[in-house]
Amino acid sequence: MIEVVGIGAAGWASLAAAERTRVLAARRVLGGARHLDLLPYVPGQERTAWPADLRGALPALVAGHETEPVVVLASGDPLVAGVGGTLVELFGAGAVRVHPHVSSVALAAARMGWSADSYAVLRLRGNDVDLLRRELFSGRRLLVLARDAASPAEIAALLVECGYGDSVLTVLGDLGSVAESRQDVPAVDWSGPGPDLHVVCVSCTAGPATATGSLAPGLPDPAYDHDGQLTKRDVRSSALAHLQPRPGELLWDVGAGAGSIAIEWMRSHPSCRALAVEQHELRAKRIAANAAALGVPGLQTVLGAAPEALVGLPVPDAVFVGGGAGDETLTVAWSALRSGGRLVVHAVTQETEMLLAARWREHGGELTRISVEHLEPIGRSHGWKPARAVVQWSAHKP
């Protein structure tokens, strides 16, 4: 077995007797250098600190665990944003036995007096502080597992930029140790680094003039930087309703333009994934910028033209084709789609409409013609201005 032992900030003293015995008896112990330094000396025990590429190195590091137990040390609960989840993913639950300690999430919530269903947990791994943007609503509580000492300043700066400067940051350092600390500071007043080991709790407060978005599909068109290649709000809402985002699923957004479909697919749930396929380099850069600004910096952009750019991509659960819906692109998209997956295609030209009509006859689904009119000034009065009609084909693959 791979024995994964959670250890608290208090070090060796935080372990129960059974876990101490397990660690002392092991011939091989793996963990962060900080964790290994907390252990008493054991003659002949082999101790290895994690390398930079942890995930890639794990198979070699735990090799032989089938015949000889390997002990892995981790902070708190190894299954809360820890190495325990990675090990289970790589080797299966049958090969991994987890011995959790109290997690930093549980300790932080206890210090704040927050019930488990009253906050969202985010983890900063790299340059991904933009993840917070998706969660910013007045009254929202965020518990952020920090990356390093610079994290509080980055979080505070983002909150101020987004109009949430009055939000209180509670920075909890060295939770569970004798050196535990707490700082409660409005984001606008934060300065300097935080402790090396800490959790940031945010009580979100929007300023009086702060515009608040929504997790529902159909963000206002001005939320996106674009050059006109944007699936407009009302039509976008319809497309996403037919694409049916579900947790953990992958979307291809083909001919992504400003990336609005992929972005709102990912905003629907933190585990949703998307690939935005776009052949124009400047638009691809805009997609990345829009994704960061709207809280989904993990959106991946594939630079290239369909159908060639679709070859070799991971199997999608849903596909949206909003630009370049040629016959070959539709064939490749339909073939790549997993069984039970959803396809939505938009057409604004007669030629593409004819393609969709043929596909509808072949595969079924729904053909819908969407016409939207907006009230606009005409001199001193107002009148309805129609937008270009869009034909939408949506289908489920058997």
198, 155 contact by CB (below 8 A)? no
**Whole-model pTM above 0.85?**
yes
Structure tokens at 356: 């969709």
- The per-residue pLDDT string of the chain (398 residues; one tens digit each, 9 = 90 and over) reads 899 999 988 889 889 999 999 999 999 999 999 899 989 999 999 999 998 888 888 888 888 878 888 899 999 999 998 899 999 999 999 999 999 999 999 999 999 999 999 999 999 988 899 999 999 999 999 999 999 999 999 999 999 999 999 999 999 999 998 899 999 999 999 999 999 999 999 999 999 888 888 999 999 999 999 999 999 999 999 999 999 999 999 999 999 999 999 999 999 999 999 999 999 999 999 999 999 999 999 999 999 999 999 999 999 999 999 976 899 999 999 999 999 999 999 999 999 999 999 999 999 999 999 999 999 999 999 999 999 999 999 999 99
**C-alpha 57: how far from its chain's center?**
24
CA distance 270 to 296: 8
The structural domains of the chain, ordered by start, are 2-102 (3.40.1010.10), 105-203 (3.30.950.10), 221-396 (3.40.50.150)
Q: What angle do CA 249, 342, 353 make, to 5 degrees?
A: 140
Closest CA to 133 of 230, 186, 210, 185: 210
Which residues does 29 contact at the CB level (< 8 Å), separation at least 6? 23, 36, 39, 45, 46, 47, 48, 70, 71, 72, 73
pLDDT digits (tens, 9 = 90+) for 336-356: 999 999 999 999 999 999 999
> Residue 295: what pLDDT?
96
CA distance 238 to 114: 37
203, 141 contact by CB (below 8 A)? yes
CA distance 302 to 262: 12
239, 346 contact by CB (below 8 A)? yes
Beta bridge partners, 123, equal: 145
> Residue 264: what pLDDT?
98
pLDDT digits (tens, 9 = 90+) for 40-75: 999 999 999 998 888 888 888 888 878 888 899 999
> Residue 158: what pLDDT?
97
> Residue 56: what pLDDT?
87
300, 276 contact by CB (below 8 A)? yes
Do you know the residue count of the chain?
398
